[in-house]
Amino acid sequence: MKPNPAPAQDALQKSDFAALSEFRYQMRRYERFSERAVQAEGITPLQYLLMLHIKGFKDREWATIGELAERLQAQQHGVVALVSRCEAAGLVARRVHAEDRRRVEVHLLPAGEAILARLAAIHRAELRALQGVFTVPHLP
């Protein structure tokens, strides 16, 4: 079922479309920058994001498959396959949770940590360079 069109008083103006277009353009430029940087390290963008989400998980140094699936906005079976590829590449390791043996923790290994540290520094520098350019548009 298609959503109802916005009422006339909420119609977007040309400037609204321009702001949305500029935002999407800057977002895509950043994504393309990221893809190139990641591929230069010999990994895929999804492998980078997986490692980033493990390292960036709040209050601990590991994440579950379900948590990673949510962060990646992906299906769990796809994340299982991604973790398997990262594990085969020596980037991550699965470990059984100490208290709940049904839970599997995904941890970064030293090789994954090293790649992630290099890539995160490059990404942070690029984001700093984009300050004031890459902004969320204000839409009334």
pLDDT in tens, 22-73: 889 999 999 999 999 999 999 999 999 999 999 999 999 999 999 999 999 9
pLDDT in tens, 1-16: 666 665 556 788 998 8
Averaged over 66-91, what is the pLDDT? 97
Q: What is the pLDDT of residue 7?
A: 55
Q: What is the pLDDT of residue 6?
A: 53
**Tokens 């299906």 belong to residue:** 75
Q: What is the pLDDT of residue 3?
A: 64
Higher-pLDDT residue of 2 and 92 is 92
- CA gap 104, 96 in Å, rounded: 5
Share of residues in the chain with pLDDT > 90 (%): 71
Q: Which of 7, 38, 13 is nearest to 140 (CA)?
A: 13
For residue 11, give Cα distances in angstroms to 1, 21, 77, 81: 21, 16, 41, 44
Averaged over 87-93, what is the pLDDT? 98
Q: Which of helix, strand or coil describes residue 94?
A: strand
